[in-house]
Structure formats: C-alpha cells, structure tokens
Structure 1
C-alpha cells in the first residue's frame, strides 16, 4: 500500500511540469495571434498605399466634400484651393467650378468669381446651378458697378420663367435701368436722349415696385432680402426725375401722369419729391411723415404704406441713407424743421452721422440760428478731430461769428484754423518731395502697419502702429476717401499678396528639397513613418515572444541537459545575453521612438529660440538707434553741427546692427536646415534591425540546442516541445512578413521621392514663369500707382492750401468788418457831434466867433489817408488825397 502511494506521488510529481507549462504557452500563443492580426491590418494599409498621395487619405470625392465643409465654415480661400484642383475632373469638375465661384464670391474676389460663374452659365449642365450663377453675376454687376455682359444676362433671364420674376433679377434689372438713365443725363444737354432716359427711369421704378412683401402661412408680411435697397433706389430715381423735369412716375406698376393735376413744372417737381418722401418713409420707420404723403394723390385700390424695420447692419445703413435723403429733400423744399428732425434721427454710430451734422449746420445757417449751427459744428469737432468736414466747418464757424459780430471769436476761429492747417499743408508738401515706398505709405494710410510692441525675450503680445512717414492725421480721411487711390491700394495689396505667396512657394520648395536630403526617407511620409514605427514595435514584441519560449524550455527540460550539450547551451546563452544588453538599450515602443525624435529635435529648437531672441533684441536696439538718429536729425541747424559726430556714430552703429542681424538670420537658416534633416534616421533603424536580427539568430541557435535533446524527452514532453517549435515557426513567419513589409515601405518611399523630385522640377519651372509675370505686373502697377499717389497728394495739399488761404482771408474779413463797423459808428457819433455843435452855435450867436475854439481835425475821417503837404505849405485840416474835405476812401 505504501509502495502504491509512493508511485502515485512520483507520478504526480512527473506530471506537475507539464501542467505548469500550459499557462506560459497560452500567453505566448496569444501574443503571436495578436501580432498576426495587427500585421494583417498593416499589410492591408500598405497594399492600398498607392492610392494615397503623399500620405493623405483623401480621394477626389473626399476633397470635394472637404471643400464644401470649408466653404460652409467660413474658410472660402481654403475651399477654393480644393475646388480649383477639381475643375478638370470628368465627373466633379462642373460642380466644383460652381463652388469655386462661390468661394471666390464669399472672399470678395468678385471679378475672378464672375469669370467662373460665366463658365457655369455657358456649360448649361444643371438649371439650378445655372440660375444661381446668373443671380450671382447680376449681384456682382451691382456690387462692382460694372455692367459688362448685362444685356446677355437679361436675354438669358427672359428665357427662364423660374428666374424672371425673382427679387434678385428684378433688383438688378431696375438698378441697370437706373444706371443707364443716370449716365445719359450726365451727357451735355445737346447730346443726351432725355425721353429715352425718362423711360429708363420709369422702367427702373417698375422693376423696383415688383419687389414687395408677401404673406406667409400665418398671414404675416415677409420682406425679401433686397426690399429696402429696391425702395431706396426707387426714391433716388424719383429725386433724379424731379431734377430733369419728368412729368410722370410709376407706382405699384401703374403710371401716374402729373399733367392731370397741374401744368406747372415746379409743382410737378414737388409732387415727385413728395412721392420720393413716400418711398423713403417706408424705410425711415416714422408714421409722422403721413401728413407729407397726403400731398401726392392716392390711386384707386392702393394699399397702405408698408413700414419696414431693418433686420441687419446693411439694412440699418439703408435706413440711415433714407433719413439723409429725407433731410435733403425737406431742406430743398424749405421745410427746415423737418430736415433737422430727420438728420437728428441718424444714429451717432452710423457712418453717415458726420454728414448729417454738417448738413444740419447748414440748415441752421439758412435759418440764421447761429448758436445752434456753432453747437452742431462743435459736436462734430469733439467727435472726430480729423473729420473731412472739419476744415470747412471751422471756416463756417468763423463766418457765423462774423455774422453775429463776435469779432474775437471769429478772429480766433480763423487764426486757429490757419495755424493748424498751415502745418498740415507743409507736411503734405514734404511728402510731395519724397521718393515714397508705396507699400509702406499705403499701409500707413490704411492703418495696417502694425508690429509687436517691445522687443527681446520680454516682449509682450500687444501691437503698436509704426510710422514711417509724417502723414498728418487730418489728411488720412481724405486719402481714404480718394476712390482712385483706394483702388491703387487694393491693386498693390493684391500684387504684394501674390509676391508673398510666391515667396512662400519658394520657401516651401526649398524646405522640401532640404527635407529630401534627410537621412530618413521614410520619415518624410507620415503614413509610411507611422507604419514603420508600428513594425518596429511588433518586431520587438516578437523577439520577446522568442525569449519567452526559451524561458519555458529552460523550466521544462533543463534536467535533460548533460555533457557536451550543456557546454553548447552555455555558450549559446552567453552569446544571446551579450546581444540582449544591446537590445534593452533600444526604444521598445512607438512612444519611446517619438521621445527619442523629440529629444533630438529639442536641441535644435532651443538653439533656434536663442537665435530668435537675439534677433528680437537686435531689432529693438536698431529701432532705438534709428529713433535717436531721426530725432537728432530734426534739430535746428546750429545744434546739428554739434551733433554731427553723434549722428555719424549712430549711422555706424546702425550698419553694425544690420550686419549682426544678417549674420543671425544666416545662422538661424543653417540651424533650420540641420533640424529639417533630423528624424528617425534610416541608418539608425537599419543598425538596430541588424542587432535584432543577430539577437534572433542567437535565440534560434539556443533553441537549436534544446531541439537536440528532443529524443530524451518523454511523450508528454515531446508534445509540449512540438507546440513550442510550432510557435517558434510562427514567430519566424511573422519576422519574414515584417521584413517584407519594411521592404515595401522602403520601395514606396523611393517611388514617392522620385515622383516628388519630378514635381519639384516642374514647380520650379512654373515658379520662374510666375515670377516673371509678377515682376511685370509689379513694375506696371508701380508706375501707375506712383502717378496716382502723386496726384492724390497734390490734390490734398491743394485742399489744405485753400483752407489756409480762406482762413487768412477770414482774418482780413474780420478786420475790415470791424473797421467798417467802427467807421459807421464814428460817422454816427461825428454827425451827432456836429449837430450838437451847430445847435450850440445857433443858441449863442451873440458870442463872438473868435472866442469859440473850433478844431476841424476833430471831425476829420480817421480812416482817410492824409495827403502829404507841399514844401512850405501848411496842410489843411480834414483834407484827403483827392483834396476833398471829408471824402474818405472806401474800406
């Protein structure tokens, strides 16, 4: 019994190793299965990699959908880049052309957008898109005041019933008819077709009247988007018709003949103006205007006026313009109280507020309300010291004080105006004599030349405005109101933008060429680099799986190692352990690879940051030196002689700083070049791969020693060992697949690099051609812009010169007015004095004449220039140059 128990115990001990070996093999099997699954996914990605361009997984449809997304999320320029690459696509091209037009329109590139909209119209592929394109073209013609091709669009609209009566089309056609009539009446009287132009005004009114409110399902009025603009231009057309002597107008589609009510052209003109009041009042949102509307006869079946409340900023501006129009109409009609009321309704936040103040001041002048006019002009000056109206307003204030006989105030107003604007005129004249950098000059006018405040490491994020030219702030609004100059600025900005884009393209190509010199070819492509790091991690895990199998073998079969086999196993283990030390120093995951790359790049980033801080410090010091030089240069001539050595020293210092900046920029470029070549180096990866291959060979050699003792194993142990052999073969298969995958990655990288180099060659040639065209445009626009700028500066200098001259004349006028008033007062007092004297003579006739002291010079005109007496002749009292006593000259 004891013997049987002992045998059972021994049997159980023999079976324990096989039971304990089950768990490690299961884990190894799971690891190999997970590696196989992950590897299949990577192989699928690489198999489809040829369809992915430069590591981006976006095909044509995806790019198109991305463009739609960007366009809807207020990124029209990014969307335009995607649509531009698809306009030649066989299936998406036509739709991409329309959305490219929309992107250009949204980014305010109206002329470019118009060209692509015309392509959509001429393609005739989809009625819906064609209708939208026609509407946009009509809208662009209105925005740009360019009616090129408008006749053709009108013909197309006539053939499209669904588009013919839309508000957009009616508004565009009405605006075009208004423009035609307006242009016709600008011609000389003998050359214009007045009847035709009047018909065009009536046609414009018909189109504008078609744009009216509709009723929704709840019977509430709904106004179209262009309703306020249509109403405003209908009122403007009526004002123009009143100026040219029209005898009829259109209301609600019906012609109203004014000859039925009166034969007086003056009354007809007033009725047209009151009809304009009727239209403008719809937008002005004021029911008090009803009493004026009743002066125009109502038509049978006519609806009441539909008052309109603005819904956005654009419509609020239309409302302000309508109120300005009402103020001007009532001023023209002599209803100054109503004119002032409408001017006062304009909000102080409106861009037309200053216009309203200036015009309201003239209304007060007409009514001889001097104090109110002066208060209005004072409000204007407090609100904006650089207003374009302010010079004329100051002169007007001076003349108002003259009219009110406030001589001191008038003299002060004219003197201050002359002093202030004389300095402005001199500054503008200095600009005329300078050779201007147009880009800097335009940036200063449009307030775009901003730089970061401060310099160096401690520079804050605030921006300040840098002044390169002494442009007086009083002249800035006048420059901004010069439409020709503003167009020149826009052209310059566009050409400058093209130049910056070309420079950016040049830098991008140069950067790509530098990156191509990187030791890591695969690292240039995000998808390939990401795949390689994953294969790296999988290879490490596969090596760990092999090492785990060796641990299982040692635990299960160590007792069978004897004699020569033991020495072979010991040597194989030593070889493996030597290599294992090198393997442990390698990165073991994608995260560790990323950290290694970041640590390498960090060195370059720190050096670049140090150079950037140095450049900022040098730029700050350069600004300080330049400021000191400009300050000392503007000193008086006698002081400049003493400061001459200092000025020379500052110039030398500035040139040394510039040399230092050039050197710092050169060093930065070299560091940047070096940083671009940093990556997960192909050579490093290959060296680590060789180490891992040797490690795998060492594991295989050690496992071969274990395989040599298979004949000594029991049947249960043989089953376990065979499972281990199968797992080792699976690990070998994984290694072969990883090697094949890495080979494909390298081949893909080489193929992509060859293609990129070809594209770079093509792009460099294109870039050179673009640069030639850019230089031509830049030269042409530069010559034209110089002429435009010089003319604009000359006109503005003339403007301030006229203001100064008028101010000086105002001072003279004050003095002459004072003299005239004083002389009149002297005449009145002198006459009174003579009358009293005569009365005294008559009363005291008995007193002898020789006892009366009477001095004729006392009553002489003090303003008369006295005649010089001849030699030896005593001058006669009260005798003027003409020899006539008391005949004073005119002031």
Structure 2
C-alpha cells in the first residue's frame, strides 16, 4: 500500500502540477431547482388558451352543423327552385335545366304550387339549348295541367314554335282552342302569331283554303297599331297576296313595310320571361322584315316592268343586311333588262367584293362574263368564265373520284358517318366547296344535325352513366367527400380532436416536471422507455394540422400535386387523339386511293388488320387514360378528407400519453402541496378535455347518421336514373342505326346534286368560252368582210377614175 502511494507520488512529480490538478476530482454540480407551481403556471395558461380556441371551433361545429336541423322537404324544394330561377335569369341554361329537372322528376314536388313554373323553366331552358324534343315533352305536360293558366300562354307560344322546328303539329288545334277559351275567345298576340305561321305553312289544305285561313289569322295582328307582330303579319299578308297572284295588293303591302325604320314604332313583346337568345328582339325583327319587304318589292316591280322603281328599292337594302348580295344580283338583272350592261357589271363587281364565296357569286360571275361578252371585252369575259371553270372543275373531279372509288357509295358514307373515333363530320370527307354547297341544302343540314344530336345524346348518356357509377362508388368508398357540409363538420371535429391531444401532451410534460422530485428510479426508467416509444409518433402527430389555416395549406399542397399529374394526363390524351386521327386518315386514304393503287388484296387486307389493331389499342389506352383522369378528379375533390392513417396516429399517440399518465399517477401520493396545485389544475383541464372529446364523438355520430340518410336518398335517385339510362341507351341504339343509313343516303344524294350543279356551272362557263371565241371570230370575220367590201369599192372607184386612160390605151 505504501509502495503504491509512493509510486503515485513519483508519477505525479514527473507529470507536473497540471497533471496533479487534473487528477483531483471535480466538485459536484448543484442539482437544478425543481420547478414550482408558479413556474409551471404560464405553460398551463398556454394550454388553457389553446383549449378555449378549440372549444370555440367545437361550438361552431355544434351550432352550424350538428344542432341545426336538416332542411325540410319544402325548404329543400324552395331552395332548389330559387337556385334554378337565378340560373335561368342569368341565362345559364344547362345549370337551370339540371336544377329544374331534379325538381320536376321528384314525384313529391308535383303537388307544389310552383310545379307549372318549374315545368316551364325546364322546357324553356331546353329550348334555348335547342333540345326541341325534350322541350316539347315538358311543354306538352305543362299544357295538359288543369291549373296552368298563368303559364299557358307562354307555354303554348313555345310549344307551337317547337312544333314548327320539328314539323310535328299533332294536338296544336286543341291547345289553341283551349287558349282561346281561357282568354275570352281571343288569342294572345304571341300565340296568335305562331298559330298564323302554322296555318301559313300547312300543306294538308288546298292552296285557296290555306291562304284564306292564314289571311284571317294574320289580319288582326297586322291591323293592331301597337302590336308586337304587326310588321311580321303584314309581310306574310303580302306574301299571301303574291301567292294568290294579286301583285298590286302585294306591292301595296310591301311598300308600307319598306318605310325607313325611324318611322316604325316597336314595342317589347309581352309575356317574355328571362333573357332570350334564339328569338330576335322587336327592333331586329322589324329591321329584318323591312329588308325582306324591300327585296320582295324589288322583285314584284321587276315582274311588272317598273324597272327604275325596282332599282330604287334594291338600292335601299342596307349593306350590312344578309339580303344585300341578293339585292345586288337581282339589280344586275334589272340593268340587263334595261340594256345597261355596264351598270349591271358594276353591280356584279360589288357582289364579288362583298360575297366572294356565296353561291350567288358563281352565278354572278357567269352573268358578268355574258355582260363582258356583250360589251365586246373578250379577254375579260374569257377570264370570268375560266375562273368559274377553275373553281368548280377540281371539286367535281374530287367528287367523281370519291364516288367512283367505292362500289357502294351509300355504304361508304354510312361507314364514315358512323365512325367510332368521333362524331359524324362531313368536313373530313368532302372538299370545302362541295361541303358548303351541300350543307346549304336544308335536308342535308337537318340530317347532319340530327346525327350530331343523336351522337351528342349517346355521349351524354355515356357521360351520365359514368357519373352515376362514380357517384355510387364515391358513396361506397368515400361517402364523406360527397357531402361538403358534412365533410367540413368532420374536418373541424378532427382539428378539435388534434388540439385536445396536443393539450394532453403538454399536460403530461407539465406533470412530469412537477413530479420529477418524487419519482423513483423505476418510475423514471419506465417514463423514459415510454417517451422513447412516443417520439416517432410525436413527429408524425405534430405534422397534423390543428387549425383551419393548416388544413387549407395542406389542401392546396395536395391539389397542386394532383393538378401536376392531371396536366400530364391531358397531354397524353391529346397525343392519343392525334394518333387516332392519323389512323382514321390512313383508313380513309386506303379507301380513296384504291383505284390508283396496284396493291394485292391480301396485302391490303393484312395492312388493314394491323391498322385496326393499332386503332383498337389507341382506343383502349384512351379509355384507360379517361378512367385515370376521372380518378384524379375524385382525388382532387377528396383532398379535404382526413388522410389515411391520421386517426390511427392520433389514437396511438393518445394511448402512449395515457400510459405515461398512469406512471405519473403512481407518484401523485408522494407529492407535496405545491405540486398538488399544479396537478389539480391539470386535472381540471383534463376533465374539460374529456368533455370536449365526448362532444366531438357525439358530433361525429350525428355526421355519420346524416351521411347515411343523405347517401341513401342520393343512391335511390342514382339507381332510378340508371334504369332510365338503360332504356334510353336501347332507344338511341335503335334510332342511331336507322339515322346513319338515312344520313348516308341523303349525303350521297346531295353530293350527286352538288356534282350536277357544278357540272352545269362548268358547262355554262365552257359554253361562254366558246361564245367568246365565236363572237370574236365573227367580229374578225365581219371586219375582214368589211375590209374586203371597202377594197372592192375602192377598186371600182379607181376603175372609174382611170376609165378614160384605159380607153386611150386600148385605142
């Protein structure tokens, strides 16, 4: 022992004084003072302040969402009707039609006093969208109601208008007679005018009977000094006189209508509700009638030989009128009739400037060539005829190739108009010039519009079916996000629950500090183990939003991420559509170029099979991408819902806090009076938190109950609509097959007529070129003959002058 001490002393001497100081033990640090209740009070104050904010949020949830009773059926109907009426007044026809359809389709709303108004708004909204069939169906239902007198006049006016558009007049007379009875034997002006127009267009009566009935219907309207339809009625009376052959009476009526607009007083038509977009305003209607009257008057004056007056009336047609090109062309013919060829050419020159692409331009250019021929301006006449030939011959050749390259042109048009890669579109089949002449023919325009409507209905049915499936899927998997109000209540409840858990964590920390002095080593070890276990959960839990601002920031972050993916999906959709268009173009090229190619049939068949496989792959990819984009829409709408696992994180974190509190509760019996002050205050807060947690649980129960109730109502409506869609799908499938065949036949016949029209224009132009050459030859022949005659005359004069000289020579 002594040797050891001696050795240590020697070592210390060798290492020096610093080593000795280092070897001496450091003085023990004084333990940190235990926090008192006064020290911990600010932290408890902060907890209490947070609880007050959470309680205010909870109170808002209870008063705004939970304690407030669901609107009654009458209140729900009134709110939906008010929303629909607002959209109707704003001219938002699709939104208005959806809201009113929801009301009209509800059997419980049929007894409501506003049911006739809802029917009218729905029908009129559909009419504004040019859904004439749907509008007619609801108007007919409205007219059949016994208590619809308030809306009967307007409904009948719309109903007769729709009947004229659809050329379907069944039941019109009965409805008109009912309106006459309701209004004391006289029809309202708007109904009387539409009824008179129907009589004017009837084809089931003899000409004399039709004219007599239409005149009797239009006469009272034309005689009304301030009537809304007096100009239109007077114009129809003039047309009736012209059809009857009474030209002086027709001229007299048209002359009254041809007065300047300033002398005409107009009045807004009564009975119009909401903004109108299809019908013209009274001022526009009066101006349009005057323009038609000027044109008709010019024609009648021309027929009766009053050429100067006719030119004066044609000159009064405004330049911005759609009738202005007609007035120029007809005025040119008046000049031709008078023998004023230069004036006629001047009128045609203006026509070429204002309407170079109209059908009148082609006829006008032929007439221009004839005038130049009469004016002996042969080069210009040849240019005019050549322009017509160069314009129409290539288009006719393309039509001949199109019709000649297919053994069955009708089937060719049927197949192309029935393509699955898009709606029927003649633009991709015909030259633009042919298409313009074909679509101006009414039957072709109506047929193409009919197929477009059918295709639009098919797309609408598919979209509606997809929406129904998505709604049912959302109700099954994400029911809460389908109801924004309930979703908001649940979101706020989650924020309150998270705030309570945060407050509980802070109370555990405060209690741990207060009891630190009385904890045993075993309790300290257990608390440390629980804290180590809680730390990973705490990092995840603290990321959860506790305020509405936090929820909003998270929602925006999630929506930005979804939008980025959706933009990429949109780009891919465009690429797939472009590839499909290329595939369709290749398929059409194969058909159109078959006469010019020498491809073996087997090779062409193999190529078409491969092409069809590629097109089908593109179709499948596009359907898959559409499904993905629909899911992205759902995900974007679902960003306000609780993230998967949030509730589990909160529950796990709260459970770890309970285990720590259990350990701390064991040490409470050893606490002194100062510590008990802190513990009692924390316990009071915890009781308050338990009460708030119970209120949150009750609020969630109410939300679930309302969610089930509202989900059941919506599910029943969606299932009922799905059944209607199934029936509609069968009807559309049956109609679309017949319609495609019909349009194919009409398109083929129309294109043949257009081809014949082009041929006749070319023929007239070719004849004009020949006439120019012949007239030029005749002029040259005449000049030669004149020169020859003049030469002979000069020779005879020379012979006479030199007769004496010749006599002397002979002698």
* Structure 1 position 47, deviation (Å): 4.5
**Separation (CA, whole Å) in 1 of partners of 2:148 and 2:215:** 35
1:812-891 correspondence to structure 2 within 5 Å: 812-821=770-779
2:76 corresponding residue in structure 1: 59
Whether the 8 Å contact between 1:134 and 1:153 is mirrored in structure 2 is yes
Q: Which runs of 5+ in 1 are unaligned?
A: 1-15, 214-223, 246-268, 288-309, 450-465, 853-891
1:19-168 correspondence to structure 2 within 5 Å: 28-29=47-48, 31-43=50-62, 47=66, 51=70, 59-87=76-104, 88=107, 89=109, 90-91=111-112, 92-140=114-162, 147-161=169-183, 164=186, 166-168=188-190
Whether the 8 Å contact between 2:123 and 2:135 is mirrored in structure 1 is yes
Query: What is the SS of the residue equivalent to 2:98?
Result: helix
* Structure 1 position 43, deviation (Å): 4.3
1:183-222 correspondence to structure 2 within 5 Å: 194=208, 196=209, 199-200=212-213, 202-204=215-217, 206-213=219-226
Encode CA deviations 1:376-424: one digit per residue, 9 max, x unaligned: 2222223333211122222212222333333333334334323432222
1:556-705 correspondence to structure 2 within 5 Å: 558=515, 561-562=517-518, 564=520, 567-568=522-523, 571-572=526-527, 575-576=530-531, 578-586=533-541, 587-589=544-546, 592=550, 606-607=564-565, 609-610=567-568, 612-614=570-572, 616=574, 661=618, 665=622, 668=625, 672=629, 683-698=644-659, 700-702=661-663, 704-705=665-666
1:497 corresponding residue in structure 2: 456
Whether the 8 Å contact between 1:171 and 1:211 is mirrored in structure 2 is no
* Structure 1 position 225, deviation (Å): 3.9
**Separation (CA, whole Å) in 1 of partners of 2:130 and 2:89:** 15
* Structure 1 position 795, deviation (Å): 1.1
* Structure 1 position 542, deviation (Å): 1.0
- From the superposition, tell whether residues 204 and 320 of structure 1 become closer, same or farther in structure 2 (CA, over 3 Å): same
* Structure 1 position 106, deviation (Å): 2.8
* Structure 1 position 123, deviation (Å): 1.3
2:9 corresponding residue in structure 1: none
Whether the 8 Å contact between 1:361 and 1:372 is mirrored in structure 2 is yes
2:359 corresponding residue in structure 1: 388
1:530 corresponding residue in structure 2: 488
* Structure 1 position 684, deviation (Å): 0.8
Whether the 8 Å contact between 2:414 and 2:741 is mirrored in structure 1 is no
Whether the 8 Å contact between 2:490 and 2:703 is mirrored in structure 1 is yes
Query: What is the SS of the residue equivalent to 2:534?
Result: helix
Query: What is the SS of the residue equivalent to 2:428?
Result: coil
Encode CA deviations 1:845-885: one digit per residue, 9 max, x unaligned: 99999x99xxxxxxxxxxxxxxxxxxxxxxxxxxxxxxxxx
**Separation (CA, whole Å) in 2 of partners of 1:667 and 1:130:** 49
Whether the 8 Å contact between 1:387 and 1:477 is mirrored in structure 2 is no
Whether the 8 Å contact between 2:57 and 2:492 is mirrored in structure 1 is no
Whether the 8 Å contact between 2:100 and 2:118 is mirrored in structure 1 is yes
* Structure 1 position 807, deviation (Å): 2.1
**Separation (CA, whole Å) in 1 of partners of 2:594 and 2:210:** 64
**Separation (CA, whole Å) in 2 of partners of 1:344 and 1:107:** 38
- From the superposition, tell whether residues 199 and 660 of structure 1 become closer, same or farther in structure 2 (CA, over 3 Å): closer
Whether the 8 Å contact between 1:357 and 1:376 is mirrored in structure 2 is yes
* Structure 1 position 596, deviation (Å): 5.6
Structure 2 residue 236 is matched with structure 1 residue 281: no
Report the TM-score when normalising by structure 2.
0.76
- Greater alpha carbon shift after TM alignment, 226-235 vs 837-846: 837-846
Whether the 8 Å contact between 1:569 and 1:705 is mirrored in structure 2 is no
Q: CA RMSD in A?
A: 4.8
Say which structure is richer in helix.
Answer: 2
Q: Which runs of 5+ in 2 are unaligned?
A: 1-34, 265-280
- From the superposition, tell whether residues 689 and 847 of structure 1 become closer, same or farther in structure 2 (CA, over 3 Å): same
2:428 corresponding residue in structure 1: 468
* Structure 1 position 698, deviation (Å): 3.1
1:424-463 correspondence to structure 2 within 5 Å: 424-433=395-404, 434=409, 436=412
Query: What is the SS of the residue equivalent to 2:344?
Result: helix
**Separation (CA, whole Å) in 2 of partners of 1:513 and 1:616:** 29
**Separation (CA, whole Å) in 2 of partners of 1:133 and 1:404:** 60
* Structure 1 position 791, deviation (Å): 1.3
**Separation (CA, whole Å) in 2 of partners of 1:122 and 1:669:** 43
* Structure 1 position 563, deviation (Å): 6.3
Alignment equivalent of 1:775, drawn from 730, 733, 739: 733
Query: What is the SS of the residue equivalent to 2:138?
Result: helix
**Separation (CA, whole Å) in 2 of partners of 1:367 and 1:768:** 68
Larger relative contact order (Cα-Cα within 8 Å, sequence gap ≥ 6): 2
**Separation (CA, whole Å) in 2 of partners of 1:621 and 1:145:** 41
2:291 corresponding residue in structure 1: 320
Whether the 8 Å contact between 1:388 and 1:477 is mirrored in structure 2 is no
**Separation (CA, whole Å) in 2 of partners of 1:812 and 1:606:** 68
**Separation (CA, whole Å) in 1 of partners of 2:556 and 2:263:** 69
Whether the 8 Å contact between 1:177 and 1:203 is mirrored in structure 2 is no
2:26 corresponding residue in structure 1: none
**Separation (CA, whole Å) in 2 of partners of 1:135 and 1:769:** 31
Encode CA deviations 1:175-218: one digit per residue, 9 max, x unaligned: 455446x985xx5xxxx5x4x566446524531334322xxxxx
* Structure 1 position 330, deviation (Å): 2.7
- From the superposition, tell whether residues 628 and 18 of structure 1 become closer, same or farther in structure 2 (CA, over 3 Å): closer
Report the TM-score when normalising by structure 1.
0.70
- From the superposition, tell whether residues 758 and 580 of structure 1 become closer, same or farther in structure 2 (CA, over 3 Å): farther
2:231 corresponding residue in structure 1: 228
Structure 2 residue 335 is matched with structure 1 residue 378: no
Query: What is the SS of the residue equivalent to 1:123?
Result: coil
**Separation (CA, whole Å) in 2 of partners of 1:621 and 1:847:** 98
